[in-house]
Amino acid sequence: MKMIWRYLSPIKKTLFLGLFIKAVGSLLELLLPYILELILDDVVPTKEVSLILFWSLMMVLCALGCWAFNITANRLASGVARDATRGIRHDLFDQSLYLSCSDTDAFTIPSLESRLTSDTYNVHRFLGMAQRMGIRAPIIVLGGFAITIFMDPVLSLVLLATLPFICILVYIRAVKGVPLYTSVQRKSDRMVSVVRENAQGIRVIKALSKTSHEKERFENVNKEIRASEIHAHRVMAIVSPGMNLFLYLGWTGVLLLGAHRVSLGLSRPGVIIAFMSYFTIISRSLMAISRMFIMTSRGLASASRIEEILQSPTEKEWQRGDYPEGDPQYAIEFRDVSFSYLKVRNNLKHISFRLKPGETLGILGATGAGKTTVLSLLLHFYDLDSGAIYLYGKDIRSLSPQELRSRFGIVMQNDFLFSETIAENIRFGREVSDEDMDEALQNAQASEFVDGLEGRTSYSLTSNGTNVSGGQRQRLLLSRAFASRPEVLLLDDSSSALDYATDARLRKALAEKYPDTTMLIIAQRVSSVRGCNQIILLEDGEISAAGTDEELQKTSELYASICDSQMGGALFD
């Protein structure tokens, strides 16, 4: 609740105004049965038309006032819930962007998506319900009981007798609800994960004729969430029928006892009718409280999941540390670097290399050898376990994430194009002139197909660029990396979808147009790295061989065999 109140605090004036208006409307609603009793038992017997009309008008005015106040309060409540949830959603998205990669891995992307969507929706519904019913229901229940006691203390005992049983049911719902609905949300995260994987891999699924398999996999997680929801609803479902049972038993008791008291002259018919009205609105309010506990259970469970993200440390809290400096004559230096994702087995072991400004390093290795991990550590996506990485003599941990990453241009192995124009995808929120963008397109060998598109750089791409080919997508990603004129280029398997002629032209452009740019190139083709100043072969997270192309062909059997196997264009796997 502290997290929710933090977002309600800036709009607390509107919140309290809405609650005050709701309270006034609820008090007016409480007056209606009392005025009805007054008319039936005291005014009608006088047979004075003017008096009957006056109190009838008073009843109409109370009804209209109740209607107007409740509508106004409900609109204010909707606005408060909307604005608070918008703030929560904004901060949650912002926090998710700045989470460390290790925390993102721990939470998982589907879970973050679920918290941004279904959890914020649950909080929104909870805030709306709490404002609409949180003040009205207690006033109706407590005020209704107080008025009935004033009207007929004996009849009111029947109402009070049902109260302990109803409170027990409400307590059961409150205690059981939060853990049950938290479990439902975890199952929901799993289902979102499966849906997300299928949406992203739909072409692969169809190509491999695995539609039935994925359908079965979804059905399994769907059954899990269904079973979890059924269990939660069964536990919660006992409350509403139980409340109805006690309320209707109380109602029956009022009728029987009231009829007996009227026959003895101890009560009046108008009192019985008013009691029935009060019993109805009290019962509805108690049912609303019951529903509110369900919504509260969901809302608080979701709020807890949201707060877990909001309380996590992020890169925004980075503080400059005091680290020894390296040799400034090297653009990049890895000094005995070791790292493990799960802290069980090292994914990289004692990695060391140096690159002077303008030099190029090529990295080869089998899948899982640690090639991409080298780039992730250089970008400080993860903290090293041991060793140090230097950028122009500065330990990367002494540079802020923004300061560090702004010096790189990168094409990642699973990079992404957004559903924007080509120009917006290349600029990517940066100040890139049209001339620089055109030059980047030309150097990335993308001009030849971009010039043929309708609108050229204003051509709109679909999500992840599915309306262009794989090779065209890679060239647009290269254009994005080139456009910022970075000090260091990181290319992770960025030309795998290019034909050999285009790849050759790209390598020529890199050599001629970016002679002073330091580069790290991860590739599957030996031809993509043969011109590098250094080449390293990674095996199981270790450097098994290092040197130039000429040196490695003489000293490394593995490198020589790769070169032999790729004669004619085969790929290293």
Same domain? For 257 and 352 the reply is no
Q: What span, in angstroms and rounded, lies between the C-alpha atoms of 444 and 485?
A: 13
Same domain? For 268 and 360 the reply is no
State the pLDDT at residue 177.
66
State the pLDDT at residue 499.
83
DSSP state for residue 100 in the 8-state scheme: -
Same domain? For 119 and 223 the reply is yes
Same domain? For 386 and 259 the reply is no
Same domain? For 272 and 158 the reply is yes
Same domain? For 272 and 384 the reply is no
Domain coverage including residue 19: 2-313
Q: What span, in angstroms and rounded, lies between the C-alpha atoms of 20 and 69?
A: 10
Bridge partner residues of 534 (DSSP):
361
Same domain? For 419 and 551 the reply is yes
Looking up residue 359, the CATH number of its domain turns out to be 3.40.50.300
Give Cα 114 to chain centroid, integer Å: 5
Residue 320 lies in a domain: no
Q: What span, in angstroms and rounded, lies between the C-alpha atoms of 50 and 55?
A: 9
Residue partners of 433: CB distance under 8 A and separation at least 6: none
Residue 265 lies in a domain: yes
Residue 274 lies in a domain: yes
Helices (H), 345-499: 371-378, 401-405, 422-427, 434-443, 447-450, 470-483
Residue 570 lies in a domain: no
- Token pair 């692969």 in the structure block, residue: 204
What letter represents residue 224's amino acid? E
State the pLDDT at residue 178.
63
Choose the final residue of a domain: 258, 278, 313.
Answer: 313
Residue 206 lies in a domain: yes
Same domain? For 299 and 342 the reply is no
Same domain? For 359 and 309 the reply is no
Choose the final residue of a domain: 313, 341, 373.
Answer: 313
Looking up residue 166, the CATH number of its domain turns out to be 1.20.1560.10
Residue 325 lies in a domain: no
Report the length, in residues, of the chain: 573
Torsion of Cα atoms, 137 then 142 then 144 then 147, to 10°: -160
Same domain? For 281 and 358 the reply is no
Characterize the bridge pairing of strands 408-411 and 348-355.
unpaired
State the pLDDT at residue 238.
72
Enter the tokens of residue 424: 């917006």
State the pLDDT at residue 568.
47
Choose the final residue of a domain: 262, 286, 313.
Answer: 313
- Rounded alpha-carbon distances, angstroms, from residue 484 to 85, 91, 370, 480, 490: 36, 29, 27, 7, 13
Torsion of Cα atoms, 352 then 98 then 113 then 90, to 10°: -170
Residue 418 lies in a domain: yes
| Structural domains in the chain (count) | 2
Give the pTM: 0.74
Low-confidence ranges of the chain (pLDDT < 70): 170, 172-178, 200, 567-573
| CA neighbor of 519 nearest in space, from 506, 500, 534 | 534
Helices (H), 208-268: 211-237, 239-263
Residue 318 lies in a domain: no
State the pLDDT at residue 295.
81
Same domain? For 371 and 430 the reply is yes
Residue 237 has a CB neighbour count (10 Å cut-off) of: 12
Whether the Cβ atoms of residue 537 and residue 555 lie closer than 8 Å to each other:
no
Same domain? For 244 and 381 the reply is no
